[in-house]
Every structure is written in structure tokens, then in C-alpha cells.
Chains A and B, each alone.
Chain A
Amino acid sequence: MNNKPKIGVYVCHCGINIAKTVDVEAVTEFASRLPNVKVVRNYAYMCSDPGQLLIREDIEKEGLNRVVVASCSPRMHENTFRKTLAAAGLNPYYLEMANIREQCSWVHEDRDEATAKAKKLVYAAVVKARLLEPLYEKEVDVEPASLVIGGGIAGIQAALDIANAGFKVYLVEKTPSVGGRMSQLDKTFPTLDCSACILTPKMVDVANHPNIELLAYSRVEEISGYVGNFAVKVRKRARYVDVDKCTGCGICAQECRLAGRIPSEFDMNMGKRAAVYLPFPQAVPAKYTIDPERCLFLTRGKCGKSPKCADACASGAINFEQQDEIVEFKVGTVIVATGFDTFDPARKPEYGYSDYANVLTGLELERLVSASGPTGGAVVLGEGENAFVPKDIAFIKCVGSRDKSVGNEYCSRVCCMYTAKLAHLVQEKVPGANVRVYYMDVRAFGKGFEEFYDRVRREGIRYIRGNPSEIFKRGDKLVIKVEDTLAATPLEDEVDMVVLAVGLEPRKDAREIIDILRLSQSADRFYLEAHPKLAPVDTATDGVFLAGCAQGPKDIPDTVAQAKGAASSALVLLSSGKVKIQAQISFVNENTCRGCGYCVEICPYGAIDLVAVNRMGNPVQVARVNEALCKGCGACAAACFSGSVQQKSFMDRQILPQIAVLGVMK
């Protein structure tokens, strides 16, 4: 009954937007002579309520079962008209649109030419409409839990928001403690808030939250599945310390034979720790970890007569027999908050970072000025008798940012302000210090940034515009060779300490997550968002969201804002409990599929598998599409040798007639 197409064609004037260059009446008359067309109307604004009502009434009264709207781009109003069809009880995928505005009336001047083209486009839409099939959007359940990868401020914030909304969160952190880069900072710009003071309460909240399962010292190994239903496999690395018994007292670290002999990563290798360690005093969880690459007992099988840590531990928490543990669970959404690495200034050898001890990075100075740092907050360089307080201090900005020679064209967005902050802190800590900043541009764009930049200049920090070309040693001093480009004067500036404001880079292990989650990278190698403006926390993989510097350099307020955005996007899925999946997906004619597997190989989403079926008594393999994974790109349909794989709404037999019309019709 419904099989014979009865098509309604609706030509829109769009005020004069279409009607000015396209003869709408002529197109209407032309459409009325096309095969299977039962009703043709034109109207000033098809998308308006009365316009839509015309379509609804015709569907109901004339029994239309296909609708062609010739108007603006389907990217504009396809959804509008699909809803119109649905409201009239017709399957919304019985709609085809002819784009006679953006791709016709607006780009052509000659009325005859534009009208002729509009006719063609309508004809092509009608022949496709005849062959449309009803599609149904399926819903799948969403597992009410979320995985957050990365325990920096981005991951912490996202995890807390989701957990506070009442959903389970698995927070996976690679290092022994959450806190990330922010925990290494002394103060935060531009307010000079103590970083630890504002961060540690959140870290503790994460550990204590009944909805958060914190998997520290762990790595995500595998994620399979699709939006709403991800299966996650996490490797919890052996700490060689029983976390249930460890009280965090720290006697093991005091007793360790290597105490004070291993560079502390947290202190940028300037401070020293033991082989059994807590990365920093406020670490969460406050449980010790034995470094398997350093511990004498674990590397050599022998540590004196017996390991001193084990002897000293009153609660018997040290356990050298501990093994890695694999934890598996299901989640509905994933948030990637894996953060960044700082630029390695050894890649700019002219700045002498590898050669001179008095050339530091911003993060190293950050540890020096921090009260919990290796010097207890004193700006002192060198050790023992050679220790001295630098007086002449220079900062160099944009090291590894805005620099094509190292492949980083982008601005790292934080260096201008952290330089201003560190310059301020150094000047505060070193009485009589003479601090200057060599810069290309100062980008003080955020809330309170310009004011802070102004403040540090008033405090006597000199900004000199110039990009230093070289740093070398002369006597006890470092010499910066630079041109003051505002004064057009070459300078040789003698200083005691140089601080390189190194930029932010994608993590060196960024590839791991790309392989696990099939993420893409933008040109700057950070993870690519679904849309730079309108979907900045989404990714091309549904249900996977980005937060923080994994997506691109940003400061703490932006990171927190993005983490909240990612959490909110995840919560939309989690709280609705259902997710609609694409209707225009691929399907396989299993009767003709020969099971070659070419589509399996080509699918970017791993949505097609070969399955064994029985075909007339013979066991054969055929391709089968996982409807929840398929995104509807149609790559498989173009690859299939036998035409067995097709994409709904874009089947060969729907496209070929369009080609015929557009090819033949002059």
C-alpha cells in the first residue's frame, strides 16, 4: 500500500533569497511533470510554521509517502523537515532536500541558468526520494559510569563533577599520586594563589568520594566498545607496598639505603628521594611506592642482608612479591585529561640548557621558589661551597612556542603569565635582584592578566623586546646575545641565571591513547576536538571527551572550565541513560557477501566483523555491521566488490539515478 511512491515537492521562495534568481513557478510546474509526484506547492518560507503545516496536511490528506523540499541546504533545515514528517506520522527519512539556495540562487546571477539548475536539482532529489527507505534510530543503554584518564586538575575536576552528580567514576592516574602539573606549581597567576592550597582539598575529595574509584599508578591498556558501552582494561602497577597496610608514616623512605640519592621527578630532578617514596608531601593517595627501576632489592635481588624498608615498616606493608593487577570494568563515557609535557630546551642548543647549570626552565624555577621544593623556597643555585644567590636574572620567553624551527607554530598561552609570576616571585625572594624579560610579544589576554603584567612592570621588572640568539659563558657570568628590537640595538647582557619560559607540548606518550581510543591529532599534535568552536570538548568518537591541555595549551581556569564542560557533556549521556545511534549506517546483504573482509579492514571504527553463518547448509563467513559502532561514513560501501555492503540513504541504487539525472539533463 505504502510502497508506491507518492511524492510531494515543496519549492521555497525563501522570501526573495531564492525567488529573485530562480523562477519558482517554473520549477513548480516542472516538478509537477516528474514521475511519482502527486503534489507540488511553492511557498514563501517552507521552514515557517504555515509552510510546515502545508507539508503535514498533504501527508495526512493526500497520503504522501515521500517529501522533497527544494529550499536551503540540508545542513540548515534537514532536521526541521524531518520533524515535520515525523509529526505527520511519516518516517522522517522519507525526506530528500534539493539545495537551491546556497548552491544555486545565491551563487548564480542569470535567472534562466539558475532556474535550469534548480530544475535539475529538484529532479535529482525526486528520483532519489522514490527510492528512499524508512530508517529507525535505535537507542542503546548507557552504562552509568565514566572513565577519566589523567589525574591532574582537569581529570580531578571532571571526576568530581560527575561523581557529585551521582555517577560512578574511575579515575586512572599513571603516576603514584593525583595532582598533576598543578601540584608542582608554587603560586598561580595572576592572583598568586598558593597552588597546593587550592588543589589539595580537591585531591583529598577525589580520594574520599564514595563515587570515585581512584586507580593511581595505573595505565589504561585497552578500551573496546562504543558510546554508552565501553569495556575498559586497566593495569594497576605493583607498588610493592600493600596500600591497605601502609600508613604513610615514611619510615621506609628514611631507612632506604638510597635515601637522598635518587633525583625526584616531582622536584624536576633537583631534589632527591629514596627508592621507596611519596612523590610529594601532599600526595594522594598518601601511600608509598617502591621504584622498581631503582630499588636495590628489585633490581639486584639483594639489599644488604635484608631490605631496610621492610625491616623498618611496623605495619608490614612492604611486599616484594606484589604483582601488577588487571582491573576490568564498563563505562558509558570516557574523558581524556592526560595533560602535556613541557618543551625540552635541549632542542634549542643555542640557549645552553644542556651545558650550563644556571640555565633553568620555568618549571625548575617553580620548584626552587616553592616552600616544599629542594631549597625550601630559597632561590639558590649550586651546592655546598659553590652555592650562591643569583642577582642578575633574565627570562627568555617563547622557548619552544611560536617557533617553526622546532615544529611548534602555536602559542603555549601560559608562558607570558607564568614568566610574569616567576619574575615577581624571584624579585620578592631575592632582595636587590635585577630581573629582565626578553620577549617577542606579551600576550596578557585573560581575566586579570593585563593588570598583573602591569603590576610586575611597576615593580621594576624590565621587559626588553628581542629574541636572544645565543647564550654563552664569560667568567662566572652567562652572556645573552640579543638585539633590543625596539631600540634597534645589539646587546650582550651578563647575568647569573637564565630562565627559559618553555612552552607546552603534547605528551610524548600521546600516541598510546590515540591507539586505544582512535583519537585524531590536530596540526599541533594535540588531540583533536570534534569542532574547534562548537564542539570543543567532544571528539570524533561519540562518548569520548577531552579536558585540559591534552586538547591544547591552556591555563588553569580554562582547564577547569573545559573539564566542567567535558563532565557536563558526559553527564548528558549518563543522566539520560539512553543514546540514539546513527540511522544512516551501513548494512550487509549476507546472501551475497563473500566474506572477503575488505570492509572489515577499511572501517575506521572497527564496526564490521566477519561472522560464521550457515548458507544453505554450508558454513561461510560474512561481514556483519555493529550498528552501535558504525558512524555512517560509507567507506565500506565504496570498497565492497560485490555491492553487498551498502549505506542506508546512500545506497548505490539511490545514488546512481541521481548521477543519471545530473549527467544527462542539460
Chain B
Amino acid sequence: MSAEFEPNVVAFLCNWCSYAGADLAGTSRTHYPPNLNVIRVMCSGRVNPLFVVNALQQGADGVLVSGCHPGDCHYMEGNFYARRRFTLLRELLEYVGVEPGRFNMSWVSASEGAKWKDVVGEVTQKAKEAGPFKQFRRDKINW
């Protein structure tokens, strides 16, 4: 892939930990690549696996789902559901030939601004290495 390729990453963040952690990264003035855009949900347990597939269909080159650390879920169990669902989804995606680097999960707490910076860097880098994703691509926006 050419060095100029800039991937497009869609991230689903839970309101209580990861979104707050991402806010903290900003408050602490850390710097990370601008390729990742966030959709806020209340809990990683809200993220339907179809959202991930949909993002890949809509043109995203990478997807991230991030929630509270297992055991720290604001809603007690939501991230456990997320973990189970996305472990399965990851296998499914690999099975249908999607590069493993395109789909990522992370656990970032409200106090881990520095970790969020690292996660964004890593996820962006992986998507960059995987290159533009065209396999599921639809031709036009469909909502």
C-alpha cells in the first residue's frame, strides 16, 4: 500500500469509560492521528455487531469498539456481552477474509487518556497496513 493512504476508522465508545478516557486524552493535550471518528453509545453492550459490519460496508477501513475494563462496566455486565459478541464477530470476519487488523476491541477507563492515545495510534496503524477496504463496500450512502 502506498504511504499516503489515510484510513478511515469508525469507533464506538461507551459513555462512561472510553468516551471519558478519550475526553481526558484531549484535556491532557495528547496528540494522535485524526483518522478515527467516534460514535458515542451509553455502553459497549449497545453495539450491535451489525454496526461493525455496517461501518465496513459504508466505507470504513477499520472499526474499534471500546468499553470499560471487564468488571468495571457502569451497567455491570454490558462489556461482558460486548466481549463475547465481538470475539465471535472477529472470528467471523477473519473467516470471511477480512484482515484481522481492521476490527479492534479495547478497554479504556475514564482515567486512561494516555492509553486512548496509544489505542488510536495502534488502530490507525493497523488499518493503514491493511489498506483501503473494498470487500463489503456499498456504492452509495444508504440510510
Contacts and interface: CB of A to CB of B under 8 A. Distances in A.
Contacts of B20: 75
Given A106-B27, A663-B55, A113 B48 contact: no
Interface residues of A, number: 54
A634 interface: yes
Contacts of B48: 637-638, 652
A631 B8 CA distance: 32
A286 to B, nearest CB: 42
Nearest to A101: B26
A102 B22 contact: yes
A659 B54 contact: yes
Nearest to A102: B26
A663 B76 contact: no
B45 A109 contact: no
Interface stretch (B28-36, B99-107, B123-131): B28-36
Contacts of B15: 75
A11 B121 CA distance: 27
Interface in A112-143: 113-114, 116-117, 120-121, 124, 127
B57 to A, nearest CB: 8
A109 B57 CA distance: 30
Nearest to A653: B143
Interface string B32-50: 1010011111110111110
A634 B41 contact: yes
Contacts of A103: 22-23, 26, 38
Interface string B1-22: 0000010101000010001101
Given A540-B74, A633-B78, A662-B8, A116 B51 contact: no
A101 B30 CA distance: 12
A635 B81 contact: yes
B10 A107 contact: no
A395 B116 CA distance: 46
A522 to B, nearest CB: 9
A605 B81 CA distance: 14
B58 A663 contact: yes
B81 A540 contact: no
A639 B49 CA distance: 9
Contacts of A516: none
B31 A108 contact: yes
Which among B37, B47, B77 has the greatest number of chain A C-beta atoms within 10 A?
Answer: B37
B43 A102 contact: no
A637 B85 CA distance: 13
A632 B76 CA distance: 12
A655 B141 contact: no
B42 A657 contact: no
Contacts of B108: none
B8 A663 contact: yes
B25 interface: yes
A33 interface: no
B10 A540 contact: no
B85 A662 contact: no
SS class of chain A's interface: helix, strand, loop or mixed?
Answer: helix
A224 interface: no
A102 B27 contact: yes
Given A103-B26, A107-B32, A650-B41, A659 B46 contact: no
Interface in A647-661: 647, 650, 652-653, 655-661
B39 A106 contact: no
A634 B27 contact: no
B119 interface: no
A447 interface: no
B51 to A, nearest CB: 6
B81 A106 contact: no
Contacts of A200: none
Contact of A664 (B23, B47, B58, B77): B58
Contact of B29 (A106, A518, A635, A647): A106
A99 to B, nearest CB: 7
Contacts of B77: 604, 635
Nearest to A76: B23
Q: Which of A76, A113, A655 has the most CB of B within 10 A?
A: A655
B98 to A, nearest CB: 15
Contacts of A653: 143
B141 A664 contact: yes
A604 B26 contact: no
Interface in A224-261: none
B37 A121 contact: yes
Contacts of B141: 660-661, 664
Nearest to B54: A659
Interface of B: 6, 8, 10, 15, 19-20, 22-27, 29-32, 34, 37-43, 45-49, 51, 54-60, 71, 74-78, 81, 85, 117, 141-143
8 contacts: A107-B25, A109-B31, A520-B71, A604-B78, A633-B43, A637-B48, A647-B46, A663-B57
9 A-B pairs closest in CB distance: A634-B46, A102-B26, A663-B58, A633-B75, A635-B45, A106-B26, A663-B59, A657-B143, A633-B43
Given A106-B26, A633-B46, A659-B55, 9 more contacts: A121-B37, A127-B143, A604-B77, A631-B75, A656-B51, A660-B58, A662-B39, A664-B58, A664-B141
